Each structure stands twice: as C-alpha cells, then as structure tokens.
Amino acid sequence: MACETFRRQLDGYGLTTAKILYRLPDHPVLLQTYIWQDYDLFPEFPTLQKFLDFWRQQLEGPLHSVTVAHSRLIAPAEIRAIGTEFRLH
C-alpha cells in the first residue's frame, strides 16, 4: 500500500515551504522566523491558508510576511504505466 504522502503527490500536491516572519507580542519591533513545511496544491495553497488562518485567530504574534517556495516532486511525465513486470532474485 502506498503511503499517504506519495498518493498526495500523485494527486498534484507538491512540497511547500513557507518562511513566516512574525512580530513578538511583547516586543513588536522584533521579528521572529518560523519555518512551515507540508504538501500543498499550487497556486491556491489551501493547507498553508488554513494554517495562516489558525495563526491569525489563535496566536498572539502578528504576521509580518510570508515567503513561499513550492516544488512538485513528481511531475506527470515522470509516471507512466508499464505492461510488464520483471522480478530478479
């Protein structure tokens, strides 16, 4: 059975990394960095949007900026069906 992350990649998900800069609640002039990484869909990024909505509603550190990098690890041309399977001992 294929693992869940592999199935998600076949469905078009790619590895998404977000560098989140936020202000410290007690010292708003200082910025702190948080790195978030998960599989997400380009260009809407629904998983990242859900996380950022949670951040805005539940956490005290206001967001300053979010930088996103995304890479599809499996492209459609890299997977193809084969008609024969060979097994070596």
Contacts of 23 (CB under 8 A, 6+ apart): 29, 30, 31, 32, 61, 62, 63, 64
Please tell me the pTM assigned to this model: 0.78
pLDDT tens digits for range 2-54 = 688 888 888 889 999 999 999 999 999 999 999 999 999 999 999 999 999 99
Residue 52, classified by CB atoms within 10 Å of its CB into exposed (0-12), middle (13-18) or buried (19+), is middle
CB 57 within 8 A of CB 65: no
**What was the pLDDT predicted at 77?**
60
